[in-house]
Structure 1
Amino acid sequence: MDRMLLGLLLFFGVHALPLLGGVRQRLIDTFGRPGYLALFSLGSLVGLWLMIEGYALIDNRILWSPLSFGRSLAQALMPLALILVVAAYLPTLTRRYLRHPMLIGVGLWASVHLLANGDLASTLIFAPFLVYALLDMAFSRPRKTLIPHPKPQLLYDLLALIVGLIAFGALLFGHGLLFGVSLLA
């Protein structure tokens, strides 16, 4: 559990830096934009890696009975969650009309996984993501993105749809290998 908690602290600590008044800009001034983005990405990836490793080490103690249709619901809504996450990083119309497509996608991902799993490990990994997504949506202020985007176009929404569905297909077939739970069984 220590590894997962360390991963959660690192991941969410890195993601909290931009919320601390002026810290983000000071880090950009110190390391430059590419350096800041590299450090942000590295901290996030190491945090995710520690969470995934820690997840495998936690016992499967059941905290509640998951919904009987939770697994089906997760499989039905995960494509949408992945499409929203991809759409957040492209100049999509989705991004123009939804204020936080990435956070909505992460919140949806976390929610369906909480509904489909009632064990301690799943709760420890998915609940913080859901809380973070909800809090970030509620308290976020518009800020200048570090990733420049051209004018939104429907073409990018189609690209987000295709990439999101490909990612879902990959997860559908690789979930057992990556996370120890096969979705096709």
Structure 2
Amino acid sequence: MALLIIGIVVFLGIHLLPTFRGVREGLIEKLGENGYKAFFSVASILGFILLVYGFASAPIIPIWTPPVWMRHLAMLLMLPAFILLVAAYVPGRIKAVVKHPMLTAIKTWALAHLLANGDLAGIILFGSFLAYAVYDRIALKHRQPTELIETPGPGSPRNDIIAVVLGIVFYVVFLLWLHPLLIGKVVVPM
């Protein structure tokens, strides 16, 4: 469990740096722009590896047993999470309306997994990501416009179709092949 917690602290900690302007600017001043980006990337990868390995090796300590319908709800919630994930990179009306589709995708993913998992490691992992995404969204509202990355206006409706189609494709591929390969079989009780 310690590796999971260390991984979460490193991964989410580095992703919280932009919310602390002084710390971020100090690191850029010391390391340079490219040095900061390299540090950010290495810390992110290291944190991600630690949290994945920590989660996989964490003991299963049941806290509660989710009702069967919550697993179905979780699977349903994951579809818009994948669409929002794609929409974060494809400028369209979805991105313009949601404003921060990546954070909304993370919140949806975390909530879905909190509903479907009742073990301590799952609650720690998914609860941490949900808290991070909520905090980061609130922090984005308080940043100065010059601190935010300028995004182009809404793209064509064609981009929304691309986001929806790719989101559905990624959802199906992840559900049928990648989830069982990387995490384990998706259990859908009848």
Please confirm whether the aligned pair reaches a TM-score higher than 0.5, indicating the same fold: yes
TM-score by length of 1: 0.86
Query: Normalising to structure 2: TM-score of the pair?
Result: 0.84
CA distance 1:87–1:40, change in 2 (3 Å): farther
Question: Gapped runs of 5+ residues in structure 1?
Answer: none
Question: Aligned to 1:69, what secondary structure does the other structure show?
Answer: helix
Q: 158, 161, 170: which one pairs with 2:173?
A: 170
What residue in structure 2 maps to residue 103 of structure 1?
103
Could you list the per-position Cα deviations for residues 105-159 of structure 1 after superposition, in whole angstroms to 9, with x for gaps in the alignment? 111110111111101111111000011111222232353328x657522222222
Q: How many residues align?
A: 183
Whole-angstrom CA distance in 1 between matches of 2:158 and 2:62: 44
Distance 2:42 2:185 in 1: 26
**Contact 1:175-1:183 within 8 A present in 2 as well:** no
1:58 matched to which residue of 2? 58
Give % identity: 37
Tell me how large the CA RMSD over aligned residues is: 2.3
Cα deviation for residue 23 of structure 1 reads 3.5
2:113 is matched with 113
Indicate which of 145, 153, 158 corresponds to 2:156.
Answer: 153
CA contact (8 A) 2:16 2:136 kept: no
Deviations 1:73-124 (A, max 9, x none): 1111101011112212222221211122111111111011111110111111
Matches of 2:109 and 2:22, distance apart in 1: 30
Structure 2: any 5+ residue segments left out of the alignment?
Answer: none
Greater relative contact order (CA < 8 Å, ≥ 6 in sequence) = 2
